[in-house]
Amino acid sequence: MSERSQLRQARRLVVKIGSALLTNDGKGLDVAALGLWVDQIAELIENGVEVVIVSSGSVAEGMSRLGWTSRPEQLHELQAAAAVGQMGLVQTWEAQFKRHRIHTAQILLTHDDLSDRKRYLNGRSTLRALLDFGVVPIVNENDTVVTDEIRFGDNDTLGALVANLIEADGLIILTDQLGLFDKDPRKHDDARLVTERKAGDHELDAMAGGGAGALGRGGMQTKLRAARLAARSGAFTVIVGGRIEGVITRLREGDQIGTLLLPEQGRTAARKQWLASHLQTRGQLIIDDGAVRVLCLGGRSLLPVGIKSVSGQFRRGEMVSCVDQHGKEVARGLVNYDADEARAIAGRPSNRIAELLGYISGEEMIHRDNLVIV
């Protein structure tokens, strides 16, 4: 199987589109271009691919609506522009997808939302529910409340974090450059497009350069960092020119356009490695012999019925250790319930979770995708 065939087989993608593309280099939303990307994404959805869009452009659109010709330096003015521009940005996405009878949803995130484990899990649940309903989430950084300086490159990182969040197969970064070159193509006539590399290849750092460098206006350094972040959960990244005709469709068909950056391992292996290296556990679940067998031999999830007792204090989404009745650790993973909730449902069948807790976060105490045998 060729590496490019991964794009044809991907079932869940994050598509990040930069401000320079969406706003036609800052001149207001380029509705015609946005409509063409929507047409291609709609085709993906019709073929069973789930898509989340990470959309820049709110500040630039707000500046256009407010009649500002230069980017303000004051943070509160940038945040005001983002608030105004977000209205136009979301309305335009909604109108374009409506032509294909596809609903959209607005999701505004900050890095704090993704660093807090509980909010992280709630965000993941919401995004997965929207995808299950056939809705296209439009994600943007919540620029109206962030305290750091707003930068055009930030959404590259956000795109990678969203790819991690929903366990996407791949991240497509549409930019105003054709991809990553081995030299700055504006200075070197013999610059060649890097078509395919491992995301962790250290030679790429020199190619990315500093500032705008060889990678273009937003800085390809941010895009390279995003690719490496996405690779942690086994996702590939494509950095490609958004103005290439039929760019998303051509990528899906395996055309050699853009730069494909590949993870060192597949998605499942990468996630398992992350779990295995997550040294700090918050609690312990003592499990019976039957649970040990299904975890170690069957590759199954850990259900509440197989838990004998619970120790420690932990929150939903934190790492716990699973030990047998002799005290030997057999697995570790991310729990679906807080410690007190875990105690309440331990040893009980999954069909009683809602009755005992008043809600259900999952039939499993630890889903097999969030569990690794040690």
Rounded to an integer, the average pLDDT of 210-234 is: 69
CA distance 2 to 258: 16
301 or 372: which leads in pLDDT: 301
Binned at pLDDT 50, 70 and 90, residue 163 comes out as very high
Token output for 138: 């439009």
Tell me the β-bridge partners of 141: 109
Domains of the chain and CATH, by start: 5-267 (3.40.1160.10), 278-373 (2.30.130.10)
Its pTM stands at: 0.76
Whether the pLDDT of residue 355 is over 90: the answer is yes
Which single residue is written with the structure tokens 């040690």? 374
Is 61 in contact with 88 (CB distance < 8 Å)? yes
Q: 């030990």: which residue's tokens?
A: 323
**277 among annotated binding-site residues:** no
Burial 324-354 (b: 16+ CB within 10 A, else e): beeeeeebbbbbbbbbebbebbbeeebeebe
Show the DSSP H helices in the chain as ranges.
5-9, 19-22, 31-46, 58-66, 75-98, 111-115, 117-132, 154-166, 203-208, 220-231, 247-252, 267-277, 289-296, 339-345, 353-357
Question: Has 154 been labeled as part of a binding site?
Answer: no
Would you give the DSSP letter of residue 16? E
DSSP 8-state assignment for residue 151: -
The predicted pLDDT at position 217 comes to: 36
What average pLDDT is seen over the chain? Answer: 86
Q: Is 176 labelled a binding residue?
A: yes
Task: Give me the half-sphere count of Cα atoms (radius 13 Å) on the Cβ side of residue 123.
Answer: 25
- The reply, when asked if residue 64 is annotated as ligand binding, is no
Residue 296 has pLDDT above 60, yes or no: yes
At 65-90, the pLDDT tens digits run 888 888 888 888 888 888 998 899 99
Q: Give the range with max mean pLDDT: 41-45, 154-158, 163-167, 326-330.
A: 41-45
Q: Could you read off the pLDDT of 112-148 as tens digits, one per residue?
A: 677 666 777 788 889 999 999 999 999 988 766 665 5
- The DSSP 8-state label assigned to residue 327 in this structure reads S
What average pLDDT does the segment 263-287 reach?
73
175 is in an annotated binding site: yes
Would the annotation count 156 as a binding residue? no
Phi/psi region, residue 179 (left: phi>0; alpha: psi -120 to 50; beta: rest), is left
